[in-house]
Structure 1
C-alpha cells in the first residue's frame, strides 16, 4: 500500500483505507492498525493480527511479511524474525529487504564471509523470481564485483520489460559519466513515458536533468535521441513494477 505521507495518513487516505479494510482487504487492515492511522488503530490491530497469524501457520509468506510490518515499532526482534521467516518462505520483497538489513549490519554471522554470501543468495533468489528492485540490486552487486557481462544481462532484461527505475538510473549514470547523448536518451524515455505517475515519480527532476544535458547536444544529436526514444516506446511500456497480488490479498482469497 502506498502512503502519501511518511508520518501520518491524510484524511482522504484514512477514509479510503478504512473502506478497503471494511471490505476485507488485508493490507488496508494493516495500514489501519499502523501508527500512521488517524484513529481506530487498536480495533484493526486486534482484528487483523489473528488473521495473519493463522495464515502464517499455513506457510503464507505474505502474512509473515505483514506481521513483520505490524510488529516493527513494538519489538524489532520479533519483527526481524518474521522478516526472516517470510524470506525463507519465498517472499521476494522480504528477501530483498532482508538482504538490505544484512548489508546495514543487522543479524549475526560468526563465519567470515557468510554475511556477504547470504546477501548474494537472497538478492539472487529474489532477482530470479522477477522482482525488479532485487534484479537491480543484484546487477549492481555483480557490477561492483567486476562481472560486467552478468550486470549487463540483467540491465538489458529490465530495459526490455520497461523498468522505469532502471531507465531513470541509467540517465543519471551516463550524465555523471559525461555521456550526455545516452543520458538524454534514457531521461527522455522516462519523461515521455511516465508523466506524473504515482508517488514515486520524479518526473520534474528527470525533466530538469534532461533539459540540462540537452543543452550540450547538437540539434542533430537531439533529433537522433528523439528518434531512438520513439522507436523504444513503440514496443515497450515503461512502468514501475506493481505487486498486484498484494492488493488481491483479501479475506475472500482465503476461502
Structure 2
C-alpha cells in the first residue's frame, strides 16, 4: 500500500491522501496509519487522527486501542465531561488488554508483544520473543545490550544478545539483521557482518542500503567488501531519491560525489540501469519504524 510505504519512509504528510482512500474503504490498518500520519504531521492528537484510530479500534485493531489509551491530554478527559458515547483512555486500555490477552492465550506472539507494550511487564516481551515475534526478539536483544536483565557473567549477556539478534534477523526483521551485523563486527566475524548487511540492504532497510552502498565504494574496504563502484553509486542514488525522507540526503551528499569522481561516464550509465533493475526486483525503501 502506497500510503504505508510513504509513512515508513518518514513522509507522513505525503502518505495522508493515500491512507485516506484505504481508510474510507474500511481498512483498519490504513485507519491506524492514517491516525499516525496525521498525528505526526500535526504533532498532536487532532480530532481527525482520533476518528481514524477509533474507526480502526472498533474493528479490533489493538495498536489503535493502545494509541487511544495514551490520549490523556484531551480537555474533556481532564474535565471529566467527555460525551457519554465516547470511551475514555482507561476504557481503551482495558479493551486493548482484553483483546490482546485473548489472542495471546491462543499463542499469538504479536499479541504477547502488545501485552508487553500495554503492561510494561517484561515477561510478555520474553514470551513473545520465545514464540517467534521478530520485533520482540530484537527488542529483547536491545534491552540486554543496554544493561537490562540479570546475567552472572558478561559473556552470558553477550551470548543472549547474539541469540536474540540472530533469531530476529533470521525471522526477517531488517533492524535485527543490522543488529546481528553489529554483533558480528564486535566478534570480528566480518563474513557474517557482510552477509547480514547485504541481506538488510536487499530488504529495503535504509540503514542497510546506505551501509552496503558506502562499503562497496571503499578501496580498500574496512570490512572486506569487494570494490563495486557501479553498485555503490546505484544504491546511494536510490537513497537520494527519498528526497528528504528521514533527512538522509545530507548523508548521501557527503558520499555520492566522491564515488562519482572515481567513475567513468559509462559506469555512471551502467549504475543507472542497475538502479532501475534493483527497484523493480526489491522492496521499496523503508526505515522500518516500530509500529508503536
Q: Do the structures match in fold with TM over 0.5?
A: yes
Q: Which residue of 1 aligns with 2:49?
A: 13
Q: Which residue of 2 aligns with 1:158?
A: 200
Post-superposition shift, 1:214? Answer: 4.4
Contact conserved, 1:183 with 1:213, CA < 8 A, in 2? Answer: no
Q: Hey, what's the Cα distance between the residues in 2 that align with 1:35 and 1:82?
A: 23
Give runs of aligned pairs for residues 95-244 of structure 1, distance below 5 A.
95-170=137-212, 184-192=233-241, 194-195=242-243, 201-202=245-246, 205-216=247-258, 217-218=260-261, 220-221=263-264, 224-225=267-268, 227-235=270-278, 236-237=281-282, 238-240=284-286
Contact conserved, 2:181 with 2:197, CA < 8 A, in 1? Answer: yes
Q: Hey, what's the Cα distance between the residues in 2 that align with 1:26 and 1:149?
A: 40
Helix, strand or coil for the counterpart of 2:181? helix
Q: Which one of the candidate residues 117, 125, 134 is aligned to 1:83?
A: 125
Q: Which one has more relative contact order, counting CA pairs under 8 Å at least 6 apart?
A: 1
CA 1:112–1:24: 2 relative to 1, 3 Å = closer
Give deviations 1:171-224, integer Å, cap 9, x for gaps.
566799999x676543212123x456xxxx32xx33333334444443955763
Q: Which residue of 2 aligns with 1:253?
A: none
Q: Structure 2: where are the runs of 5+ without partners? A: 1-31, 78-87, 222-228
Normalised by the length of structure 1, the TM-score is: 0.75
Note the aligned Cα RMSD (angstroms): 3.4
CA 1:35–1:171: 2 relative to 1, 3 Å = farther
Normalised by the length of structure 2, the TM-score is: 0.66
Q: Hey, what's the Cα distance between the residues in 2 that align with 1:234 and 1:24?
A: 40
Contact conserved, 2:212 with 2:232, CA < 8 A, in 1? Answer: yes
Q: Structure 1: where are the runs of 5+ without partners? A: 73-77, 247-255
Is the aligned partner of 1:71 residue 2:119? yes
Contact conserved, 1:92 with 1:125, CA < 8 A, in 2? Answer: yes
Contact conserved, 1:175 with 1:213, CA < 8 A, in 2? Answer: no
CA 1:220–1:175: 2 relative to 1, 3 Å = closer
Q: In terms of mean alpha carbon deviation, does 226-235 or 6-15 score higher?
A: 6-15
Post-superposition shift, 1:226? Answer: 5.3
Contact conserved, 1:189 with 1:229, CA < 8 A, in 2? Answer: no
Contact conserved, 1:64 with 1:83, CA < 8 A, in 2? Answer: yes
Post-superposition shift, 1:33? Answer: 1.3
